[in-house]
Amino acid sequence: MTLYNFFRSSAAYRVRIALNLKGIEYAMIPVHLSKDGGHHKRPDYRAVNPQMRVPSLRLDSGEVLTQSLAIIEYLEETHPQPPLLPRDAVKRAQVRAVAQIIACDIHPLNNSGTLAYLRDTLRQDQTAIDAWYAHWITAGFDAIEALLTPGPYAFGAEVTLADVCLVPQLYNARRFKVPLERFPVILAACEACETLPAFARARPENQPDAE
């Protein structure tokens, strides 16, 4: 497998964690999102992923998967151990809900394309952009904090898809200096995850394209 990756992309970070947890070997092709106007906009990458976003995962068969949650669900179905979704249908839905709060509600409003539009098209200054970023993180984390169950991880004793999504989002929140003291349950779950080698290897600063 080959992962088209940008070290700071939280969506790519999720997929790296999942690949590591499942012990899947993969090659990596860096796709820088800001150099030279963004390498993801080049024709050669658009041929890989028409949406021109990362991550993309090229399978050994040559087929390409896009969208981080779809990629992780594919990995879950084809490499079921260790499982990232509980067997119980209710718990599985609860884990997916937290993952989707991050991937569908928080992340789209705070990704690099959205922030660039605020800055370049709507002419917002950095103070306003930072306030926008913090607002959506805080709104999402308020809900997640109430939904998590006793640890050590987001939903108990086993790492789940919720953790895979939550750790990269917390990393971004810290990078943008969003106050996090009001989220002790989230912080504890992420701290537990970050002690695991699969999460440590996936950290942005540990990637070959890190700057």
- Domain containing residue 166: CATH number: 1.20.1050.10
Q: What is the pLDDT of residue 56?
A: 96
Q: Could you give the number of structural domains in the chain? A: 2
The phi and psi torsions of 4 (rounded to 5 degrees) equal -85, 120
Label residue 40 by pLDDT band (50, 70, 90): confident
Q: In the chain, what is the straight-line distance between the N-terminal and C-terminal CA atoms, in Å?
A: 24
Q: What is the pLDDT of residue 167?
A: 98
The yes-or-no verdict on residue 158 having pLDDT over 90 is yes
Contact 95, 160 (CB under 8 A): yes
Label residue 41 by pLDDT band (50, 70, 90): confident
Q: What is the pLDDT of residue 196?
A: 98
Q: What is the pLDDT of residue 116?
A: 84
Q: What is the pLDDT of residue 76?
A: 97
Same domain, 75 and 103: no
pLDDT (mean) for 8-26: 96
Single out the residue in 80, 112, 131 at which a domain terminates. 80
Same domain, 114 and 152: yes
pLDDT (mean) for 101-109: 92
Single out the residue in 51, 80, 109 at which a domain terminates. 80
State the Cα–Cα distance between residues 184 and 141, nearest whole angstrom.
Answer: 11
The answer to whether position 205 is within a domain reads no
The yes-or-no verdict on residue 91 having pLDDT over 90 is yes
The yes-or-no verdict on residue 72 having pLDDT over 80 is yes
State the Cα–Cα distance between residues 211 and 200, nearest whole angstrom.
Answer: 17
Q: What is the pLDDT of residue 109?
A: 87
In sequence order, what are the beta bridge partners of 28?
A: 3
The yes-or-no verdict on residue 99 having pLDDT over 80 is yes
CATH number (domain holding residue 14): 3.40.30.10
Q: What is the pLDDT of residue 32?
A: 85
Q: Determine which helix (DSSP H) or strand (DSSP E) holds 4, and give its type and residue range.
A: strand 2-5
Task: Classify strands 56-58 and 64-66 as parallel, antiparallel or unpaired.
Answer: antiparallel
Same domain, 63 and 142: no
SS3 30: strand
Same domain, 9 and 59: yes
Q: Which residues of 165-181 are buried (b: 16+ CB within 10 A; e: fewer)?
A: bbbbbbbbbeeeebebe
What is the share, in percent, of the chain residues with pLDDT greater than 90? 83
What is the share, in percent, of the chain residues with pLDDT greater than 70? 100
55 or 117: which leads in pLDDT: 55
Same domain, 23 and 75: yes
State the Cα–Cα distance between residues 79 and 161, nearest whole angstrom.
Answer: 14
The yes-or-no verdict on residue 36 having pLDDT over 90 is no
The answer to whether position 131 is within a domain reads yes
Q: What is the pLDDT of residue 110?
A: 83
Write the pLDDT tens digit of every residue in 106-153: 988 888 888 888 898 999 999 999 999 999 999 999 999 999 998 899
Rg of the chain (C-alpha set): 17
Task: Classify residue 43 by burial, with Cβ atoms within 10 Å: 0-12, 13-18, 19+.
Answer: exposed
- CA separation, residue 52 to residues 47, 48, 202 (Å): 9, 8, 22
Same domain, 194 and 97: yes
User: What is the domain range of residue 13?
Assistant: 2-80
State the Cα–Cα distance between residues 68 and 158, nearest whole angstrom.
Answer: 21
The answer to whether position 211 is within a domain reads no
Q: What is the pLDDT of residue 111?
A: 83
The yes-or-no verdict on residue 37 having pLDDT over 90 is no
Same domain, 45 and 104: no
Same domain, 71 and 148: no
Same domain, 94 and 187: yes
The answer to whether position 210 is within a domain reads no
Task: Cite the DSSP H helix spans in the chain.
Answer: 10-21, 43-46, 68-78, 89-100, 107-110, 112-120, 126-147, 161-175, 184-194, 197-202
